[in-house]
A and B are shown apart, each in its own frame.
Chain A
Amino acid sequence: MGKKEELTEIVGSQQVIVDTHRLEKLSRDESFVCPARPAFIVKPHNIDEVQQIVKWANETLTPLVPISSGVPHFRGDSVPSVDGAVITDLSDMKKILRVDRKNRVAMIEPGVTFDELCGELEKEGLRPNMPLLPRRRKSVVGSVLEREPVIMPKYHWDIIDPLACTEVIFGSGDLYRTGAASGPGTIEEQWKSGEAQKSHAEPLADWCRILQGAQGTMGIVTWATIRCELIPDLEEPFIVGSSSLPGLFELIHWLVRLRLADECLVLNNAHLAHILAKQWPDEYERLRDSLPPWMLFFCISGYEYYPEEKVSYQIEKMMDIARRAGVKPVKELDKVTAQKLLKIIQKPSEEPYWKTRAKGSCYDIFSLATYDRIPELIKVMNNTAEENGYPVADMGIYLQPVVQGTSYHCEFNLFFNPANPEEVNKLKNLSHQAIKPLMNNGAFFSRPYDTWVDTVYEIDAETTASLRKIKGILDPNNIMNPGKLCF
C-alpha cells in the first residue's frame, strides 16, 4: 500500500487531497521561505484520526505540517521546509465544545475561526481578547498558539493568555492534556467539580508553554480552552493624535497600570489609512496625509454595576493623566471617529483581508521591546527601508502593549505587490538586513519566522540546546514540521 492509501484508510478518500493545484498553493505563502512541495493534504475529523496520522508518520518517517487557518498564509511557518511532507489540515475540526459564561472560557477545536467564535460568544455576553483585525478565516487556536498579541492588554496577565488548556497529540504519538485539563478525571468529571480548564499549568510542568510559539514542531492541538472577557455595557472610546511617542507611552502606562482601558493600541498614519481605505491610491493617500503620525486608540468600558459612574470617574482620571502627559484624547480625529474605529477592531477584518487590499500582499517584521527602545527600532526600520528603496511613508507601524504593559509588540508592515519581482527582491533584502540592527537596539524576536530564524537563535546557544532537548522528548523522530525554528 502507498502512503496515499494508508492515509485514506485513516481519514477516508474525501479527506486526502492530491490535487496538484492545491498542493502548489500550500508550497509557498506570502513570506520569503523557499517553497517545498507537500505530498498530500490530509484532513482529519477528530482526535483519533489525528493520533493515527501521527503514529503513521512516525512509522513511515513522514514529516507533518499542521495548519488550521484558511489561506492566505503569511509567515512561512506553515510552508513545509522539506519535500514530501503531509499537510495536516485541521480546518474541518470546527466544533465549539463549550462556552462557559460564569468562568469566561470557551473550549474550541482548531478549525474554529474568529468569526465563528465571536458569534457564539456574543450569545453569552462574552468576547475573545482578539488580535488586531485577524483575517476572517484565521483559526483562533492557531492564533493563540502563535502567541499573537491581543488588543486588550489589561486582560493579558501572562504572555500565554488567552490560551489556557489544550488537548494535544505530541510528535511521539502520545495523547496529552495540558494544565488543569490533565486531570484527575475526564473532562466531563472535571466539569462536575466546577473545573473549567482555566489553569494552564500541570503540577510539575506547563507544557502548553512549549506548544505555544512552536510553529507546529511539537505536536498537534485538537482542542484548546480560550479565556474570554465580558461584553461591556457601556463603551467610551478615544483617539489621541500625536507627532511623537513619549507622551502616548506615558498615558498608556497609566491606562494599563490603573486598569482604565480595555482596548489599547497605537497605530501610525500609514497603518490606520490601510485599515480604513477602500480605494487605492486616492483615499488611502488622502487619509495617510491627513492623519497625525501617531494615534493612540483606547476604550474605557463599564460593566454590570453602575457603568456610567465607573466610566465617568475613569474618564476624569484619564483626562487628568493625559493633561500631565501633554496629550489630548478626542472622540474624532480628522473625520475618523473613535466609535467607528472601535467597531472595526472588535471584529475580524472585512474581506478582502485588509493587509492584502493595497498591493496584494504584506510582509510583517515584529518583535517585543520595552517602550524606551521603540523610537530606536523605528529609526532602524526607516533607515533600512530607505536604503532598500521602500517608501517609508507607506510603512505601517503597530505598537501593542502586552502582558500588562511590561513590553510592546512592535510591528512593521511592508505592503508589496507579490507579482512584481523587483519589489519582492527589495523586500527580501530589507527583511534580511533589518533583523540584526533591530536586535542590537533592543528588539527581542520572541516569535521568529521566515529568514530571521538563524540570526535569532545564533546568539542564544543555551536556549537553542535546551529547546532541542525538549524536541527530542516530545517528537523523537522529528516528524513535526522539521526544519522550522532551531529544529
Chain B
Amino acid sequence: MALSRDAYQALEDIVGADNITEEPAILDAYAFQWGLKAFTGNPFGIRYEAVLLPGSTEEVQAIVKACNKHKIKFKALSTGWGPMNTTGSEGTIQLDLRRMNRILEINEKAMYAVVESYVISAQLQAELMKRGLTCNIISAGSNTSALPLAGLMGCGPTSVSTSYSNRNILGVEWVLPTGEILRLGSLGSGAGWFCGDGPGPSLRGIMRGYKVPLGGLGVFTKAATKVYHWPGPEVVQVEGASPGYTPELPDTITAHYITFPSWDKFTEAGYKIGESEIAMACDKLPPWMLSLNLTEDGREGVQLFSKIRSQTVDKGISVLVVVGADSQREFDYKEKVLKRITSETGGEFLPLVEEPATRKKLIWHRVRATTGARETFRLMLDQGASFGAADSWEFAVSEAKEGAKLKKKYIEKGLIMDDGADNAWGTVYEHGHMGHMDELFLTDPTNPASRQGMFGFMQETWQVSLEKSLGCHQGVMGDMGHDLFGPRTSNYHLWARKIKKTFDPNGASESSRYITAEE
C-alpha cells in the first residue's frame, strides 16, 4: 500500500525531497531488525511506506498534522536499536530523527542536560565528563539515544548511582499524536527545562510508565535529563581496539567481581552495598556475560566461561561493583566498607577481575556501557529476555531466581543454550531503593525445536509472573501482552487505552508495540 501522491507530496513539502524516500531497499533496511528474527523467524518486519528525516520540531509537528489529515500512521525512532521499532501495521511512515542530534544545554550547576532525540549517550557523556559529570546510560549501549523517552524502560549498569530514565526526566517537548506541542512543567510556563511537573498534576504521568510508549503516543523531540557526578578525568584516554579498550583511569576508580554463596547472601549484600552508598555501578553481570565481554571472539568467550565457571556459577551468585572516589580517603573508606560487606556475606573476589588490565576494561564497559550487543549476541544465536519489572531489590532477586529455575529445565532438555541458567542481568537502583532483573537466554536459530523451546520458556515465565506476582515483564508489548497482564494488574490496560483514545483520536501514532484504543 503505497502512499497516495497527494500525501507523499504533502510530506515532501515539509521536509524537502532530500529528506524523504520510498526506495524499497531503504524501506527494507528500516524494516530489518535482528531481534525480530527470534520471534517471527524473519528479521524483516512490515515495510514502512516512506521514511522521513525531519530536522526540527516544527517539521515533526507538520508531519504529524499531515498524517492526521491524510489518515497515515507515523512512528518515530531514535537510533532504532530494538525490534520495537518495527511497525505492526501497513500504512505507516517512519520518522527517523537522526538530524535532530544536538545537545542543547548542559547546566552544570543545576545538574541537567537537554538533548534532542538522536543525541546518543556516548556523545552526551563525553561532553559531560569534561565538566566532571556523567549520565545514566541504558545497558543496550552508549550508541543508543540519550533521550530518557527512547529506550525501553531505561535502566543501565550505573543505575545504582544514576537512577533510570523515568526518574531522570525534567522538562520535555512533546509533539502529541494530533500535532499540538505540549511543553511539560517549567518549560510550558516559559521558565526553562528544570522541572517536568505541573502546574498541578504532572503530565509525565501519562507520557510514559515504567516503559516508554514505544512510538505509540506522539513524538518526543527534546528532553532534559538529570546528570550525576563523575569522579574520573575530563577526557579519558583509551588504548586498544574494541572489545579490548583499556582506559587510563586514576587508582581511585576500581571494580570487583564478587560471588556470594547463596541468593540470600547475594540479596543481603545488594542491600548493604546500596545503603552504604559506596558503588558507582552495582549490577548483576552474570559470568556468561562477563566472559563474552572480556574476550576477543565468541569461542574465547565460551572458553573463558568454562574456566571461571567453577569460581562463579558453581559457587553462587555474582555481582560487579564499580567504586569511584574523588580522593584517596574516600576511596579507602569505600573499599574498606565493600570488603567488610563481602566478608559479612561470605563473598569472594574473582581473581581475574582483580588484575589491573581486566579491571580497567570492565570499569569502562560499565561506565561507558560499551558491551550491550557483545555480551548478548556475539554467538550469533537468537537472544531474548524475560521478566524485568522493577520494585524492591528483593523482588528483583525473585525474578532472577525464578528465571534461572525455569531455564534450567529447558537447558537440561537441550532446548536453550547452557549459559549457566542464572544469566539474569539487573541492577540495584538509587543506592538500594529499588532494583530490577531480566533473565536472558539464547537459542539456536538453526534448530526449530530450540525456537519452540524459547516460546515455551517465555510462556512459562509469563505464567509464573501472573501466578507469583512477579510484575509485568518488560517484554510485554502490544495489545496481546497487555490484555493478558492487565486483568490481573488493576486493569492498567483499560486506563492506558483511555489515554490512547483521548490523546490520539485518529490513531495516527502507530501503537502496535504500545497499546491500541481497541477494547
Known: A180-B471, A259-B277, A445-B189. A460 touches B199 (CB 8 A): yes
Q: A103–B392 contact, CB under 8 A?
A: yes
Q: Contact size class for A?
A: 35 or more
Shortest distance in angstroms between A139's beta carbon and chain B's nearest beta carbon? 19
> Which candidate, A349-357, A383-391, A464-472, is the interface stretch facing chain B?
A464-472
Contacts of A182 in B (CB 8 A): 489-490, 492
Contacts of B389 in A (CB 8 A): 180, 199
- Whether, in the assembled complex, B25 has its beta carbon less than 8 Å from a beta carbon of chain A, the answer is no
Contacts of A369 in B (CB 8 A): 191, 194
Q: A406–B112 contact, CB under 8 A?
A: yes
The B475-511 residues at the A interface (CB cut-off 8 A) are 476, 482, 485, 488-493, 495-496, 498-499, 502-503
The B284-298 residues at the A interface (CB cut-off 8 A) are none
Contacts of A306 in B (CB 8 A): 333, 336-337
Contacts of A208 in B (CB 8 A): 205
- Whether, in the assembled complex, B276 has its beta carbon less than 8 Å from a beta carbon of chain A, the answer is yes
- Whether, in the assembled complex, A309 has its beta carbon less than 8 Å from a beta carbon of chain B, the answer is yes
Q: B482–A467 contact, CB under 8 A?
A: no
Shortest distance in angstroms between B188's beta carbon and chain A's nearest beta carbon? 4
- Whether, in the assembled complex, A423 has its beta carbon less than 8 Å from a beta carbon of chain B, the answer is no
Alpha-carbon separation in the docked complex, A282 to B437 (Å): 61
A-B contact count (CB 8 A): 315
Alpha-carbon separation in the docked complex, A305 to B396 (Å): 25
Shortest distance in angstroms between A322's beta carbon and chain B's nearest beta carbon? 15
Q: B109–A253 contact, CB under 8 A?
A: yes
Q: A204–B211 contact, CB under 8 A?
A: yes
The contact string, 1 if C-beta is below 8 Å from chain B, for chain A 236-271, is 000000000000010001001111000000000000
Alpha-carbon separation in the docked complex, A403 to B202 (Å): 15
Contacts of A443 in B (CB 8 A): 191
Alpha-carbon separation in the docked complex, A198 to B428 (Å): 13
Q: B201–A404 contact, CB under 8 A?
A: no
> Which candidate, A8-16, A57-65, A186-194, A283-291, is the interface stretch facing chain B?
A186-194
Shortest distance in angstroms between B347's beta carbon and chain A's nearest beta carbon? 15
What is the chain A residue whose CB lies nearest that of B325?
A313
- Whether, in the assembled complex, B13 has its beta carbon less than 8 Å from a beta carbon of chain A, the answer is no
> Per a CB cutoff under 8 Å, which of A406, A447, A456 touches B189?
A456
What is the chain B residue whose CB lies nearest that of A183?
B489
> Per a CB cutoff under 8 Å, which of B185, B199, B202, B469 touches A184?
B469
The A39-65 residues at the B interface (CB cut-off 8 A) are none
- Whether, in the assembled complex, B198 has its beta carbon less than 8 Å from a beta carbon of chain A, the answer is yes
Q: B229–A406 contact, CB under 8 A?
A: no
- Whether, in the assembled complex, B366 has its beta carbon less than 8 Å from a beta carbon of chain A, the answer is no
Q: A371–B110 contact, CB under 8 A?
A: yes
Starting from the known contacts A194-B392, A406-B226, 6 additional A-B residue pairs (CB-CB under 8 Å) come to A206-B205, A249-B109, A257-B111, A442-B192, A463-B182, A466-B206
Interface residues of A (CB under 8 A from B): 102-105, 147, 157-160, 176-177, 180-186, 189-190, 192-199, 201-215, 217-218, 227, 230, 249, 253, 256-259, 303-306, 309-310, 313, 316-317, 368-372, 403-407, 439, 442-448, 453, 456-457, 459-460, 462-463, 465-467, 469-470, 472-473, 485-486
* 11 A–B contacts from the bound complex (CB under 8 Å): A159-B195, A195-B471, A204-B208, A209-B204, A210-B203, A213-B201, A230-B275, A309-B333, A309-B336, A313-B330, A469-B503
